[in-house]
């Protein structure tokens, strides 16, 4: 009997199944004045986020993925939306997804320009002390209790100032020079490396987090 697939494969299936319904819901709410008003407020709050230091380029996660690479289409090709808990193909499909995620292509980065990236730190080792090496991911729980991000949506970060190991649920800003250098880690293959980086807490109580849709 095949080993059961990890729970995240079913989360991906739900995301695929729900994409059409979500889009239809968005089309309906766009006609609602209150929805438009709230969207304007959110855009205004996004524009009010303090810019990075001079000479540092604000970067979104989707910029780290080539325009022609679409993980949503990969999931459709593998028919993830048809997978159920009793499907004997679940483990095989999960393995194929992880293979695609590990081979996710990167994009060239200007090495002379440091960037600022918002994300969540993944840390291995003891629960106490500071971590000077982290894997930055775009959403909380990536690869732990939520579907893992593809390799081009993970960054190995070498920090000059360590992150407390109890901050895994806290969004942070990381600033440094990004290189498309792949690295194997306990959290899976990582597509980028950032060196001589610094971090600070993202002011999430004041400003909204950047929007992120992993299936685009």
| pLDDT, mean of residues 103-114 | 88
| pLDDT, mean of residues 28-34 | 63
Is the confidence at residue 21, as pLDDT, over 60?
Answer: no
Q: Domains (ranges, CATH) in the chain? A: 1-48+70-103 (no CATH), 55-64+106-205 (2.40.50.870)
Which has more confidence, 2 or 87?
87
Of 29-33, 65-69, 123-127, the least confident? 29-33
Written as six digits, the tokens of 202 are 């993202």
In order of 61, 98, 116, the CA distances from 107 in angstroms are 11, 20, 16
- Taking the C-alpha atoms of residue 105 and residue 117, their distance in angstroms, rounded to an integer, is 19
In a 3-state reduction of DSSP, which class is residue 18?
helix
Enclosing H/E stretch for 178: strand 172-179
Of 46-50, 55-59, 188-192, 205-209, the least confident? 46-50
Place of tokens 């524009």: 47
Pairing status of strand 183-185 against strand 188-190: antiparallel
Instruction: Report the pLDDT value the prediction gives residue 156, as an integer from 0 to 100.
Output: 97
Nearest to 171 by CA among 163, 159, 180, 179: 163
Q: Mean pLDDT in the chain? A: 82
Is the confidence at residue 81, as pLDDT, over 70?
Answer: yes
pLDDT bin (cut points 50, 70, 90) of residue 114 is very high
Is the confidence at residue 105, as pLDDT, over 90?
Answer: yes
| pLDDT, mean of residues 198-215 | 85
pLDDT bin (cut points 50, 70, 90) of residue 197 is very high
Which has more confidence, 14 or 156?
156
């Amino acid at each position: 009997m095949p080993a059961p697939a990890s729970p995240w494969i079913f989360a991906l299936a739900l995301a695929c199944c729900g994409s059409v319904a979500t889009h239809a819901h968005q089309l309906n709410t766009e006609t609602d004045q209150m929805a438009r008003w709230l969207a304007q407020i959110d855009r205004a709050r996004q524009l009010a986020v303090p810019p990075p230091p001079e000479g540092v380029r604000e970067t979104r996660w989707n910029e780290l993925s080539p325009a022609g690479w679409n993980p949503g289409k990969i999931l459709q090709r593998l028919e993830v939306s048809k997978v159920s808990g009793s499907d004997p193909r679940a483990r095989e499909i999960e393995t194929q997804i992880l293979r695609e995620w590990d081979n996710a292509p990167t994009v060239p980065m200007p090495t002379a320009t440091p960037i600022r990236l918002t994300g969540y730190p993944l840390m291995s080792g003891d629960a106490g002390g500071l971590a000077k090496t982290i894997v930055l991911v775009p959403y909380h729980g990536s690869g732990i209790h939520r579907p893992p991000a593809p390799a081009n949506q993970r960054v190995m970060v070498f920090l000059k100032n360590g992150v407390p190991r109890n901050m895994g649920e806290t969004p942070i800003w990381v600033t440094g020079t990004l290189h498309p250098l792949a690295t194997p880690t306990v959290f899976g293959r990582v597509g980028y490396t950032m060196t001589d980086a610094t971090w600070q807490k993202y002011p999430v109580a004041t400003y909204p987090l950047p929007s992120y849709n992993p299936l685009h």
